[in-house]
Amino acid sequence: MSIFETLESEVRSYSRGWPVVFDRAQGSWLYSEDGKAYLDFFAGAGALNYGHNNPVLKKALIDYISRDGVTHALDMFTVAKRDFLETLNDVILKPREMDYKVIFPGPGGANAVEAALKLARKVTGKESVINFTNAFHGMTLGALSVTGNSMKRGGAGIPLVHATPMPYDKYFDGAYPDFLYFERLLEDSGSGLNEPAAVIVETVQGEGGINAARLEWLKGLSELCERHDILLILDDVQMGCGRTGPFFSFEEAGIKPDMICLSKSIGGYGLPLAITLVRPDLDVWSPGEHNGTFRGINPAFVTAAEALRTYWRDDELEKSTKAKGERVGRVFTELVDSYPESNLVAKGRGLARGLEFPDGEIAGKVCAQAFERGLLMETSGPDGEVVKLLPALTTTEEEIEQGLSIIKESVGAVLSR
Amino acid sequence: MSIFETLESEVRSYSRGWPVVFDRAQGSWLYSEDGKAYLDFFAGAGALNYGHNNPVLKKALIDYISRDGVTHALDMFTVAKRDFLETLNDVILKPREMDYKVIFPGPGGANAVEAALKLARKVTGKESVINFTNAFHGMTLGALSVTGNSMKRGGAGIPLVHATPMPYDKYFDGAYPDFLYFERLLEDSGSGLNEPAAVIVETVQGEGGINAARLEWLKGLSELCERHDILLILDDVQMGCGRTGPFFSFEEAGIKPDMICLSKSIGGYGLPLAITLVRPDLDVWSPGEHNGTFRGINPAFVTAAEALRTYWRDDELEKSTKAKGERVGRVFTELVDSYPESNLVAKGRGLARGLEFPDGEIAGKVCAQAFERGLLMETSGPDGEVVKLLPALTTTEEEIEQGLSIIKESVGAVLSR
Amino acid sequence: MSIFETLESEVRSYSRGWPVVFDRAQGSWLYSEDGKAYLDFFAGAGALNYGHNNPVLKKALIDYISRDGVTHALDMFTVAKRDFLETLNDVILKPREMDYKVIFPGPGGANAVEAALKLARKVTGKESVINFTNAFHGMTLGALSVTGNSMKRGGAGIPLVHATPMPYDKYFDGAYPDFLYFERLLEDSGSGLNEPAAVIVETVQGEGGINAARLEWLKGLSELCERHDILLILDDVQMGCGRTGPFFSFEEAGIKPDMICLSKSIGGYGLPLAITLVRPDLDVWSPGEHNGTFRGINPAFVTAAEALRTYWRDDELEKSTKAKGERVGRVFTELVDSYPESNLVAKGRGLARGLEFPDGEIAGKVCAQAFERGLLMETSGPDGEVVKLLPALTTTEEEIEQGLSIIKESVGAVLSR
Amino acid sequence: MSIFETLESEVRSYSRGWPVVFDRAQGSWLYSEDGKAYLDFFAGAGALNYGHNNPVLKKALIDYISRDGVTHALDMFTVAKRDFLETLNDVILKPREMDYKVIFPGPGGANAVEAALKLARKVTGKESVINFTNAFHGMTLGALSVTGNSMKRGGAGIPLVHATPMPYDKYFDGAYPDFLYFERLLEDSGSGLNEPAAVIVETVQGEGGINAARLEWLKGLSELCERHDILLILDDVQMGCGRTGPFFSFEEAGIKPDMICLSKSIGGYGLPLAITLVRPDLDVWSPGEHNGTFRGINPAFVTAAEALRTYWRDDELEKSTKAKGERVGRVFTELVDSYPESNLVAKGRGLARGLEFPDGEIAGKVCAQAFERGLLMETSGPDGEVVKLLPALTTTEEEIEQGLSIIKESVGAVLSR
């Protein structure tokens, strides 16, 4: 393992908790080079909703590469991109009566966010953006300025300005009316709040600790934005593509964001791809005003289109995701009840689930125990106090049970000491 | 073509000059869906130095995918990543006596730049960065703030601060000593220049108009940085990986930058990959302080390592690149001489070549003529006044001649009117 | 009046409500050039706590000028400055067991604020400052960035950053516990709030609409700052020098701010003077690091020292100010009760009193009616909805009654229509 | 002297070089409390162009105070303000065919600069401002961001952005054509220079080391601003009011700045007063958009108007200032010639004169020697290497000679050691 230690930067993180060298992967399983199998309940932090090396997508991918389909094409027109756009339109947008234009902003989620923020500022002529406590939107300077984590913000090396945090749903445990503070500041011309171009929000804060906003809170936010003529940017990078059940995590709230950021699982196979959907009247870019080299990775278009065709023509995946999510939720609630003195909290929606421990040290120990037992899970939350589950949506019920058993054992091993 | 027009954002650019739908690609050739072949002298804006769908890399890629090698692995340890790191070390770093640590910052060049800027600011505790006139470093907010193009800067929607532009080499056509203004400002405690954390520079400005800095200018810049304790960030995203001949474009200047940004062709096959190399003592990140989902795309590691093994174990590619580059340069000089009244200028180094026209309109017409004749070329420079050639380094001598013939015809068709 | 209209900038404001040309002044009275007397209940926006051309101070001033005492002395040592410092120490600081150093930052209140903000940032190495909704701290860029009024902020022409507004006392009419949101953000490392160097606060917001914070709120704020190691800057520019009764408006809250800004009435006679008091251990300036031409206006030192000696050797002024303030308060409460359908609100403390109307138009009409009856009053608050009383503390009881009668008539004239 | 040391902040500066306590002043003389007379060649850093306690102004001032003329009147109309405006118009503006509106921005020079910067940004909708190397414009955040001195900038505690320094006249000793770099950056749309709202400039940099720009350089700058539609802000705070001969220091350059900042000697007697003159079409403020307590100090209006009437109805003062300035210049040139090995440089224009020494230590010793001999002078320049002379314009020829003798002795005492 020494080449990693001597050559790779100290910034590496996941490899610290899982100090093995992985070689192969299939479905919900990762295999280390010495042949040990790991059940993966992290799934590329949500980038592998259809599992590792999904065979349907794999076949399409190999076919495309084998026949010398264009690989890299900047933002040129290609057959693969057309197929992706048509499929996105037919399978996702049209059935939901969503009228959006598609920006290809660069290959990662942060790029999708940067494009949205730039466009929102250009459209409105305002600089300020409202973000929420414990938000995570990415690590490039624009995205980082709307991210909450103080350690990550500190890495910027410059003051991160132009963003003001507002309390996310349940920040005060329901003790106060939603948006009381936010709307008061907006309505008071003496409040000192810079007039915001946009609000950026996640429906479930993954990095922030699997904080799931209530649907009525999301609806309220959308209405507030409309009332005050503020653009609503929905960052669905981690929670989109079915993570919470429906394709877009905000569907059940009945809202229509002005801009939507997608990445991670949109590519289907784990290849980098990101898109920003914007209301057509907001698409005021000049040609080339936001560009980049990797805006059209055609192998990712191929697997992206195939994934949409395979999984989103009907509501089977949505239903099974919800069912599996509820199963996990029930087990987590049982764990909460089993250790009343530990003040555990069960969190989440769909297959984005969290179990909150009193502190990050305990949560870390639970993950370490799980790793020893062959299960990959990560912590999240400001102090790493939440064990975070993002299994592939294609994980079988048996695998879910297998993972839950390991979790129960791991929690027991840590809390019963 | 209507799905592109109705669904894709107005920000698309390359597809406007080349309004065909591409399907397949091989080597230096792109094929539209109606079967027409295009000789590609743009090569993914430098992302395809080894040609489209290079067969050696393709084989390694298909093998890896077929055997279910891990595709997406965040920043976990993998066999593919280890192979890449070892190959990078053995083939590139060690032979050049370069001691650097490798950051995987996200999949695009802008991410490599953002990581370098953040780290430079963190290390020095200073916010300000020096960039150069007509620089291009990317479109995320940090990278954009050190980019020169006013149209692209305008897209930010917020004032881009913390960067001060200095004149790039030949900005005054050699009329004044190098760095006269820059060093005077640094030495004068009343100059009002914020003390810079770092200088960021390209050895040849691709987007800026194929401006090739002299080696002694680069050396002088490196010495100035050392004298004033300023970090030198070398953005080799477009000019690295052999574009100008040697693997790193700065090798012949005999300098050792503090940080080096690589992307585009580092992945070999056109798949997104970026790395930032930093002097080991500067690697002061906390774990996870800069992260992201797509920091380890293993298929790209596979093709990246294979490309290094195939092309960089000896100096054949370097030599042939220089030879081909000189051939292009000679033809460009002949064109300059053939149209003395048009004030053309031949520019560039290695296989990064430019032909400057009096204005962007003329240069655009030349590219349009070339496209009609089956050759893909783009313009660059602040007003698009430079026809820019970045052919794959693996383009054959015959293909080079074929392209040059088309260029001569195209120039003739425009200028002789 | 035409020279004003042709030559003076459109930015002028008070002259629009009081379109007469004033010539002389004495005590609480201003006289227009045509000899009409106006009872002044605005008193230079709090700069004339001892009345216009106070005879005791006037005598000292004329004596000093007549004997050619130094007028302008930059920050040199002078007899007049020594006398001021000694008197400030003996009469104000020592009896209150206050250990502070005195900065002479420039002649206006905004300068006192700018000096405090700069020093707080220098001491802590942090950029961010917390201000409060409806705060007013001045119009230079640093002071403006912590000011709430959106019209005034808009005048900056650049985004005003580095400040985050928190709810002032009673912002939610007691529905939220004090500092709930503020402290939650501070304690949550994922909140996205930039760690603040300082909090800047007024005890009664004059421009903001005569919002008087409760003493326990001020005490709570001071304790919160101590808990979180944040510097507390008390802007006592308008409310200091006895406006609310005691010399410092925060005395009764029992707190010891880290920095205190004074201006307006500190000079005694209406001549420009400002000081910033700082805890001795925070006085880390280099010599000349904050300078300016008008840091030592000796005639102002003379009247300042004389005012302290005349009015602050005992508690008579404090007592009479409170008594007069309570009298005004009672009358305002009666007015509130007399017009139950108008939803008036009586506000304030000491002789900083406000009467809030439903909107700025009505409040403006009341002031216009008062002006016609020979009384000068102004509006404040985000929409100008509060009639604001800042009479000289030396106003006699008879004059107070005279003014209150006019106010009653004026309110009646407007509300009974 | 202990009260100063125990109570006054460490930021005090002038008192460190002149450690005596001054009491009285008359004309060009300051008297310490022990009766020693000092010839003042610093004159309040240019705030006392008409000498200390000028008897004509003193009489008008005492008369005004004695008759209870309004002292403090915010921005209300007063008889004294009308007289000032009319006199300014009749004596200064009309005869020079200057059509400007007058802003009263607050009492110090920095306020005049802040108002100009705010208005320039509001009018143009651009944030960026061009300043010059070694500029000094004040210490509040807006003014400081366009100031050059790194120690003073460091006091801000936040990154000072939105300003880019350009080389002042003679920065490269004539080696570069004027404005070569500046205009090149403006014309190059890829330069990375943020499009500037305004340029702010001094005609002679006082704090920067008595750097006198050539008239043709000023004219060239004005033309460049016109060509590129950039507002020209002339900061005449220190060099205006006759310091270089004519009332405005830029008159001989034949330019018409868009905005002019005046303070220091505009009040005549050393009382705080500042005005910003703006082209009428730029006066787009909303009422109260830039306000402040001390915008109308009527005693300063009285002395200001009296000074204009007394000294600017004819060209006597202008002529005598030039003659005295030339006399100082000749003596400085003789000193330069007398110490050829010391590389002295004689600098300046009118009665703003400088003698540059090899370093700040030597210049400081010369001032110390002069102080011992009863002459007050200060150093300026980035390293304090320039002895700076700003005697009152009313200094008699005999006093000038007396001071020059002391200077010669002092230089001799230091350089001959």
* Closest of B173, B153, B163 to residue B200, by C-alpha: B163
Q: In chain D, which residues touch A (CB < 8 A)?
A: 158-159
Half-sphere exposure of A404 (CA within 13 A, CB side): 21
Domain C3-53+315-416's class?
alpha beta
pLDDT at C1 over 90: no
What are the residue ranges in chain A where pLDDT is below 50? Answer: none
Handedness of CA C103, C109, C113, C115 (dihedral sign): negative
- Checking if the pLDDT of D365 tops 90, the result is yes
| Nearest residue in chain C measured CA to CA from B125 | C125
Kindly state the percentage of chain A with pLDDT values over 90: 97
- pLDDT tens figures, D54-76: 999 999 999 999 999 999 999 99
Residue C174 is predicted with a pLDDT of 83
Determine whether the interchain pair B65/A70 forms a contact, defined as Cβ–Cβ distance below 8 Å.
no
Distances (CA, A) of A406 to A248, A410, B76: 30, 6, 21
DSSP state, C148? -
Closest by Cβ to C191, choosing from A165, A184, A192: A165
Grade residue C264 by pLDDT with cuts at 50, 70 and 90. very high
Chain B residue closest in CA terms to C125: B125
The whole-number pLDDT of residue B313 equals: 98
Instruction: Please tell me the pTM assigned to this model.
Output: 0.97
Partner residue facing C190 (CB), from A148, A181, A192: A148
Chain D residues within an 8 Å CB radius of A158: 159
Q: What is the mean pLDDT of chain B?
A: 97
Pairing of β B259-262 and β B231-235: parallel
Q: Which chains touch B (3 or more CB pairs under 8 A)?
A: A, C, D
pLDDT tens sequence across B115-164: 999 999 999 999 999 999 999 999 999 999 999 999 999 999 999 999 99
- The rounded distance, in Å, linking the Cα atoms of C223 and C216 is 10
- The pLDDT assigned to B175 comes to 83
Under an 8 A CB cutoff, do C165 and A193 touch?
yes
What residues in A contact C208, CB-CB < 8 Å?
A: 190
CA quadruple B325, B330, B331, B333: dihedral, nearest 10: 120
Q: Where do the DSSP E strands lie in D167-324?
A: 196-201, 204-205, 211-212, 231-235, 259-262, 275-278
User: What band does B296 get if pLDDT is binned at 50, 70 and 90?
Assistant: confident
pLDDT higher than threshold 80 for residue C330 = yes
Per-residue confidence (pLDDT) for residue D362, from 0 to 100: 98
Rounded Cα gap, residues B348 and B356, in angstroms: 10
Please, how many CA atoms are within 13 Å of residue A222, restricted to the half-sphere of its CB? Answer: 19
| Chain D residue whose CA is closest to A157 | D159
Going by C-beta distance under 8 Å and a sequence separation of 6 or more, which residues neighbour residue D140? C106, C110, C111, C114, C140, C141, C142, C143, D110, D111, D114
Distances (CA, A) of D336 to A64, B249, D224: 82, 52, 35
Min Cα–Cα distance to chain A from D274, Å: 28
Residue of A nearest to D158 (CA): A159
DSSP C41: S
Q: What is the C-alpha radius of gyration for chain A, rounded to an integer number of angstroms?
A: 21
DSSP C163-229: EEEEPPTTTTTTSSPTTHHHHHHHH-TTS-PPPEEEEEE-SEETTTTSEE--HHHHHHHHHHHHHHT
Compute the nearest-CA separation of D97 from chain C (Å): 14
> Which residues of chain D neighbour C162 with C-beta distances below 8 Å?
158
With bands split at pLDDT 50, 70 and 90, how would you rate the model's confidence at B174?
confident
In chain D, % of residues over pLDDT 90:
97
Closest chain D residue to B176 measured between Cα atoms? D176
Tens of pLDDT, residues C11-29? 999 999 999 999 999 999 9
What does the alpha-carbon distance between residue B335 and residue B326 come to, in Å, rounded to a whole number? 14
Q: State whether D150 and B195 contact (CB < 8 Å).
A: yes
CA distances for D287 relative to A125, A189, C41, C138, D119, angstroms? 24, 17, 22, 16, 13
pLDDT single digits (tens) D181-223: 999 999 999 999 999 999 999 999 999 999 999 999 999 999 9
pLDDT given for residue D1 in this prediction:
57
What would the pLDDT profile of D67-123 be if each residue is shown by its tens digit?
Answer: 999 999 999 999 999 999 999 999 999 999 999 999 999 999 999 999 999 999 999
D58-312 has the same fold as D3-53+315-416: no
By C-alpha distance, the chain C residue nearest A160 is C194
When pLDDT is averaged across residues B64-70 and rounded to a whole number, the result is: 98
Nearest residue of chain B to residue C157 (CA atoms): B159
Strands (E), D2-75: 22-26, 29-32, 37-40
Among C9, C93, C298, C383, the residue to mutate for chain D (most D Cβ within 10 A): C9
pLDDT 10s digits, C186-223: 999 999 999 999 999 999 999 999 999 999 999 999 99
Answer whether A192 sits within 8 Å of C134, measured CB to CB: yes
Task: Judge: domain D58-312, CATH 3.40.640.10.
Answer: yes
Beta bridge partners of A234: A201, A260
pLDDT of residue B50 exceeding 70 = yes
* 3-class SS of residue C412: helix
For chain A, helix (H) and strand (E) counts, in that order, are: 14, 17
Which residues in B lie closer than 8 A to residue A155 (C-beta atoms)?
A: 118, 122, 285-286, 289-290
Partner residue opposite B23 with nearest CB, options A30, A78, A270? A78
Give the helix, strand, coil percentages of chain D, each rounded to 5. 40, 20, 40
Stated as kind and residue range, the H or E segment containing A389 is: strand A386-389
Q: Do D128 and B159 touch (CB under 8 A)?
A: yes
Contacts of B404 (CB under 8 A, 6+ apart): B327, B328, B331
Q: How far is D209 from chain B (nearest CA, A)?
A: 10
Q: How far apart are CA D44 and CA C73, in angstroms?
A: 6
Which letter, b or e, does each residue of D177-207 get, where b requires 16 or more Cβ atoms within 10 Å of its Cβ? ebbbbbbebbebbbbbbbbbbbbbbbbbbbb
Question: Residue D285 carries which DSSP code?
Answer: P
Q: Which of C131, C159, C165 sits opposite A162 (nearest CB)?
A: C159
Q: How many CB atoms lie within 10 A of CB C139?
A: 27
Residues D123-177 pLDDT 10s: 999 999 999 999 999 999 999 999 999 999 999 999 999 999 999 999 998 888 9
The pair of structure tokens assigned to C272 is: 């420009």
Which among A147, A161, A190 has CB closest to C161?
A: A161
Delimit the domains of chain C by residue range: 3-53+315-416, 58-312
